[in-house]
Amino acid sequence: MTFAVKPMSSPITMRELAPQWNVASGDDGEPSALLGELCRRFGGEGALLFRIRVGETPPRTTVLVNSGIEESFRDSVVERATGAIVNRERNEVLPMMIPAWRVGGASAFIYAFPGCARTHGQLVTAILAVEQMSFAAIAEAYLAGRCMMEAFDETPIGRAAGPDHPRITVREQSCLAWTAEGKTSEEIGIILDLSPHTVNHYLGSAARKLGATNRMHAVAKALRLGLIERPV
């Protein structure tokens, strides 16, 4: 028995989608219009763009743009999407389908598309839909959402939307990163050509900026926010 195999279409890349979903200005109406278009193209009932302060417990969220989601549903969409994202062991940037509730007798789903975590928070695009999307639609909607969020983050509105965020210096980042590798202050001092006292000063300063109780708590917060990466 033979099967006819339909050839796969060419994959779509973020570079190809970026011009369609670029937030090119600080106009408040532009992100809302793009979210509306995202819903129309992929069958959503409404969509949100919000920011998570992932280094805080419980995580604080700020809704930046709402397109078509009723106020009575908005907080529930944000809460469910945030819970799914922050409960992962690492910063999540893959699309998620989250069962929500029943709307008008039909099952509703939240499609959450997290952006990359930055010092001022992690942007998330969430689409509320009453029908399941195909895998192809999820992939394209995810890429579109990522393009939109990355562009939005570079606008004055995007940069100013979150609360004040910690400004970690290069030395503080280096000390935190080596602490994440299990190095002591003495060992970090040898690696960075600093005295142990100076290393402790940098770690203490970073902990205060991050609102951490000790150096390991500061490391955990810095990793979660994407402020540092583990040294290779």
What was the pLDDT predicted at 198? 94
Q: Counting beta carbons within 10 angstroms of the beta carbon of residue 122, is it exposed (0 to 12), middle (13 to 18) or buried (19 or more)?
A: buried
Residue range 33-77, pLDDT digits in tens: 888 888 888 888 899 999 887 666 777 888 888 998 888 888 999
What was the pLDDT predicted at 70? 87
d(CA 159, CA 157): 6
d(CA 179, CA 64): 35
What was the pLDDT predicted at 2? 39
Higher pLDDT, 186 or 174: 186
pLDDT band at 146 (very low <50, low <70, confident <90, very high): confident
β-bridge mates for residue 223, sequence order: none
d(CA 218, CA 175): 11
Single pTM value for the model:
0.61
- CA 147 to chain centroid, in Å, comes to 12
Please, what is the average pLDDT of the chain? Answer: 79
pLDDT band at 105 (very low <50, low <70, confident <90, very high): low
Domains of the chain, CATH where assigned: 20-161 (3.30.450.40), 170-225 (1.10.10.10)
pLDDT band at 121 (very low <50, low <70, confident <90, very high): confident
Residue range 189-216, pLDDT digits in tens: 999 899 999 999 999 999 998 889 999 9
With b meaning 16 or more CB within 10 Å and e meaning fewer, what string describes 147-157?
Answer: bbbbbbbebeb
Which residues, 6 or more positions from 92, have their beta carbon under 8 angstroms from its beta carbon? Answer: 84, 85, 114
Check pLDDT > 60 for residue 89: no
What was the pLDDT predicted at 5? 37
